[in-house]
Chains A and B, each alone.
Chain A
């Protein structure tokens, strides 16, 4: 075994210590690992026992990645996206997904990145289902953004200064803005549908 020397001055009298570091992986949580460190007794330089630490970090990160892919597939299950539908749109065999889920096989770095994107933007599956048609993809993207926006708005307390309608036709997306009349009242919102009360007298397009 090679003797560890200070990389700066070559001194071999080193003080060894252990430090704890937290490693994180998106959707996989975090883990605490112990790393071996040295401090040169002559020049005071601190450095890692890189080969040993690299090995331990790789093992810990692989473990977090397996947890991550398992959580991602469970999350899809929670939002009613079955493995069968993932197989259908992405042509990834269901048995491969099951092997990842049960830890019997490790997804490649490419597959792992793809699934992190899909977990962040589940509507990408819908894009795949529509054969990656650019115009349809844009509509799906905007539709999802609007859905998210609507879910965060409190129409009872928001002082809405304008209202608009998105209109998709002939590969273009138009936003028609209307003046909001003081006698206009939103009475209910169900999913994507907004209902207004009888108080609406008129709305005038301004753009």
Chain B
């Protein structure tokens, strides 16, 4: 089960740009994989329902700060499958996009079916 509400994150993207930040290599990956050039474009894209077929993958502790949890989701945008990881900082009260890139495994339906059966484990993107 996800740690944060994705809807809350999306609402924050629509409400105030300053309450959402992209960290790590998120923006470089968004430029490379999705032709989304700026942080403003990325936040706008999420707000304007750019992500479809959003599927929760897992929740893991944030490596830089293990008190924080990171929710990972897969999504689809036209013909591309993507991966988004997000967290929330209680200190700065900001939503943080930790990752936004092309999903390594495009055959998600099969992958999740195998995972449910316990045959395949782990998502490489984290």
Chain A residues with CB under 8 Å of chain B are 5-10, 21, 23, 43-48, 50, 53-54, 57-58, 61
Which of chain B's residues has its CB closest to A54's CB? B38
Instruction: Out of A9, A10, A54, name the residue touching B40 (CB < 8 Å).
Output: A54
Given A43-B65, A58-B38, A10 contacting B92 (CB threshold 8 A)? yes
Say whether B68 faces chain A, with CB atoms less than 8 Å apart: yes
Residues of B within 8 A of A44 (CB): 64
Interface extent on B, as a size class? 20 to 34
Helix, strand, loop or mixed for chain A's interface? mixed
Say whether B60 faces chain A, with CB atoms less than 8 Å apart: no
For the complex, what is the distance from the CA of A133 to the CA of B28, rounded to whole Å? 43
Interface code B4-28, partner A: CB below 8 Å = 1, 0 otherwise? 0000000000000000011111011
Given A43-B65, A44-B64, A54-B40, A10 contacting B91 (CB threshold 8 A)? yes
The answer on a CB contact under 8 Å between A50 and B27 is yes
The answer on a CB contact under 8 Å between B38 and A57 is yes
Instruction: Out of B25, B38, B89, name the residue touching A8 (CB < 8 Å).
Output: B89
Residues of B within 8 A of A5 (CB): 92
For the complex, what is the distance from the CA of A54 to the CA of B39, rounded to whole Å? 7
Residues of A within 8 A of B31 (CB): 21, 23
